[in-house]
Amino acid sequence: MSGDEPYDVQHSPRERETMKSRGQPPEYDLAYVLRADERIMWPLEAKVLETDGDVGEYIKDLKNEFLTCRYAPFSSEGAMLAYLLSGKPEIVFGNLAQRFRVA
C-alpha cells in the first residue's frame, strides 16, 4: 500500500456500533477501514473448515451475524472466507448451495 489509499487495513478491529449492552463487541478478522470515518468498515471474516463437510459453524455465522449486517452496519458489502484443511472445495460449495437453496 502506498499510504495514499482512502482506507487502512486493520486486523481484528472491533465494531462498537452493534455492541450489545453486555459482552464484547463484534470483532472482524480483517477490515478495510475508511480513514475519513473509522466507523465505516468493509469486513473480511475467515473460518477454518477442518473437512469439506464441516460447514455448520460457517453457515451459523453467515446467517446470524454476517447477513444480519451485525458485522458491518455502515457497509452493504463484505466477504466471508474459508480455509479448507482437508477435502474438496467443490463439496463445500455444494453443501453451502444445498443449505442456502442456491440453484
- Tens-place pLDDT, residues 56-79: 988 888 888 777 766 677 777 888
Mean pLDDT to the nearest integer, 43-68: 87
- Give the range of the structural domain holding residue 55, as residue numbers without chain letter: 7-100
Number of domains the chain contains: 1
Q: Dump the DSSP string for the chain.
A: --S-SSEEEEES-B--TT--SSSPPPB-SEEEEESS-TT-EEEEEEEEESSTT--HHHHHHIIIIITTTSS-TT-S--EEEEEE-SS-HHHHHHHHHHHHT--
Share of the chain above pLDDT 70, in %: 88
Is residue 83 in a domain? yes
Is residue 2 in a domain? no
Taking residue 91's Cβ as centre, other Cβ atoms within 10 Å add up to 14
Is residue 1 in a domain? no
pTM over 0.85: no
